[in-house]
Structure 1
Amino acid sequence: MQIHLISQGYGSESEHTLGSLLVELISEKAYGAFTAISAFASEGGVNGIAKHLSKAKDHLKKITIIVGVDQKGTSEEALKALLKIGVKVFIYYQKGNAIFHPKIYLFEGSNKSELILGSSNLTVQGLFSNVEASLWITLDVNDEDDIAVINQLKSNFSTLFDQTDVNLQPLTQELIEMLVKAGIVPAEKDRKQVQDKCDESQNTEMDQVITKFFPKKVISKIPSEFKVISKSVKVDVVEKFVEHKEFLEEVFIWKVKSLKIRDLNIPKGEKTNATGSMLFKKGELDIDPRSYFRDVVFANLKWKPDSEKPHYERAYADFKIVIDGTSYGVYNLKISHKTDTTSKSYFQHNSMTSLSWGPAKKIIAKDELIGKSLSLYKKGSIFVIRIE
C-alpha cells in the first residue's frame, strides 16, 4: 500500500491537481473498472473527463458514475453531458437537511487498484483550482490488508456500489426534466451563481481593503477540454473552423457590429485610455468570450506565458486587414489572453482575449471607421479582418 497526499490549490501547475491525476489514471490500461462518486458535477468537469473516458473504453470495461444534486451543486448541462458519455450514471437524492457529500474515485485492476478519497467534486474548480485535499492510495490486490480497504469501502457503501439504494436512480432524460422542473437542478449559469463567487462585492473601495487581508493567489491552469464553450454558438461556424486545417476559402469566425473608439485606439474623452488593443468581445455570436477565442479560434497558436504578468499568455498570428474592400497588407500581431479565472472580468463573463494593433495602428486609428462592422475570417494560416 502506498499513500500520497494531493494538496491542491497552492500552485499554478495543473499536474499537481486531482483533475490531472484522474486523466492520467483513466488512460492507464492496468485498470478495467472505474467508479466515481461525487456530491456535485459541473458541465466543464463532466465534459473534460468525458473526452478521456471515451478514449479509455477499450480497457475500462466497467464505468459507473454516481452524482448528487443537493444544494444546486449539479447543473442540468452537467447531467445531460453525463447522459451522453454512454456509461452507467446514477443520481442520488433524498429530501431533508442531510446532503449527499462523498467524493470517491476508485480504479480497479487485476494487479493493483487506486483509491482517491478527499474533498474534490466533479467540477472544474474542484478538480483543478479550489484548495482541496485528497488521499491517493495505491493498493496491491494480492495483499490481504490492501484488499480489506476496498472491501470495507464497498461494504460501508454497499447500496451505492451494487446500485440498490432506494434513493439512487438511473440517469435518464425524463429524470433530468423532472429534477429541473422541481427546482432541484439549476442551469449551469445559475449553478455558478450559487457555487462560485459570482456575487462578490462590486464596491471597488471595499474590494481593495479586502484584498489587503485576503490577496489573490495564482491558481492552477485549467486544461482546455475542461473549459466550457457556449453550446449556442452556430455549430457550422465552430465545426468548419475546428475540423479544417487548410482553408481554400475564407471561413467566418466572429463579428462585431459597431466599432467603438476604444476598439480602434482613438480615445476622445479624458477618461478613455489608449490601450492599443481591441478586446475580442461576444459580438454578434452567442459565445462565451472567456474561452471561445483562446480555446477555439486561436487554440493552435504557440502560446507562451508572460514572464512579467503571471496571469497572461501571449501569441502571435498573421492578420490581413481589408477596409471597405481594399487590402492594406498582412501584419504579424500579438494576441493576449488573461488566464485568471478568479477575476471580476471572468465571473462577469467579459472578454479575456485581446488583439494588439501594433504596427497596424496607423491604418486602424481613424475616425471614419467608428461605427463600422468588423468581421474575422481565416484562410489558410492567415486570419482576415474585414472592416466595412
Structure 2
Amino acid sequence: MSHRFVAQPHDAGFDLRDFLELVAADAALSQLDIVVAWVKRTGVRAVYDNLARFLERGGTIRAVVGISQGGTSLQGLQAITEVATDAYVFHHPGRTFHPKLFAASGSNTALILVGSHNLTLGGVQDNYEAGVLSTLDLMVDDERAFSIAVHDYVDRLVDDKELCLRLDEALIESLARNDRYPLADEDESRGGSTSEQDPTAEADPGLPPGARIFGTTRFQMRSRKKPIRADRGATPGIGEGATPAEADGLESAAAPEDRVVRRWFKRLPRADAQQLPTSSPSNTMTLVKAGHDIDASTYFREVFFADAGWHASETAGGQLREIASVDVAVTVDEENLGLHTFDVRYTPGYDSDQANRTSEFAWREFGEYLRQHDNTDKYASLERTSAGIYRLLIADNPAGPFLY
C-alpha cells in the first residue's frame, strides 16, 4: 500500500483530472465510485473525456452526489446522469452531505482519492484542493480490507433508500420545481445575471414549501450531546442571564470551568424574525454592528466564528463567499429547543455596498420554527463558550453584556 499527498492548482501539483486520467488508462480498474457534496456541469465537462474512455472499455461508474446548501446545479445533476452507470442524489434534512471520495477498483488493485475536491470546475482544477491518493494491492489482506471499507461506506449510502434516491429525469424535474431543495442554475449565471441571490441559500421560504422528497435514515447516527436549559446564572463566570448547556442525563455540556467568552446580540426586526407579511422571508439574520464596538465587516469571520471550519463558495453573481456550518444549542424564552445546525456566510464583496452586511446567519430548517412563532423585537444572543460551544438564546432581553 502506498499513500501520496496530492494538491492543486500549482504547476507541479496533481488534480482531479490527473486522477481520472490514471483511472481511464489502467485496464485493471473496472469500477469507479464517485461520492461528492456538489456537482456542476462545468466540472463534469472538464473530466468527461476520461470518464467516457473508462466507460468505453467496459468500466462502470456509480456516483452519489449531494445537494446540501444549494451548491449543486440543475445542469450538474443532468450531466452526472449522462456519464454515470448509476447516479444517485443523497440528502439528509438537518445534516450536511459533505464527502469527497473517488475510488477505482478491479480484481487485484485499487486507486482511491480522498480529499476536498467536489465535481465542480473549481474542485477539478481551479481551486486550492488537497487529498491523499492511495494505491492498493488487493491481494494483501490489510489493503483489501481498506478497499472493502471504502466500498462498504458507499454501499451504505446507497442502501439508505429514503435519503439516497436514484437520479433520473423525473426526479431532477421534481427537485428543480421544489422550493425545499435549492439548485444553482449555471445557465442563468453564465448569462450574466447580476442577481445577488445566493446559490447556497435556503429554498425560498416565502412560497408554500414543496412536498418532501427525502425521508429519514434507516441507520443509527452517532449521538450528539443535547443541551438542555439549566438554572439561569447557575454557572460562575457566565454573564447575567446566560443559560448553561447541559446534556440529557449526562454531565453538563458547559462544565463549571467553562464560561462564555464571546457574546453578541441584536433586537430582531421583522425581516430577521421571518415575519415580513408582504414579501418572502430571507431565512437569514444579518450579523451587524448592532450598537457594539466591532468592525462588523470582519468581526464574525475573523473573531466570533474564526474557528468554525470555513469553506469557499460564491454567490450567483460570482462574488467570493465563505461558509461555515455550526451546531448551536438553541433556547427560546427559556425553553430548550435542542441542537440545530446553522450556516454563517461571509461575503467580503458586500463591504463595497454596505459594510454592515458582510456576514449573515442562515436559519436553515430552524426558519420554519421562526415563521410559526413571532419573535419580532426580541433579542437574539449568540454566545461562544471557552469549550467552543455555540449557543443561541432568543428572549425579551439580551442574555448578558456584550463580550468581544
TMscore range, shorter length: 0.3 to 0.5
What TM-score comes out, normalization by structure 2 length? 0.46
What TM-score comes out, normalization by structure 1 length? 0.48
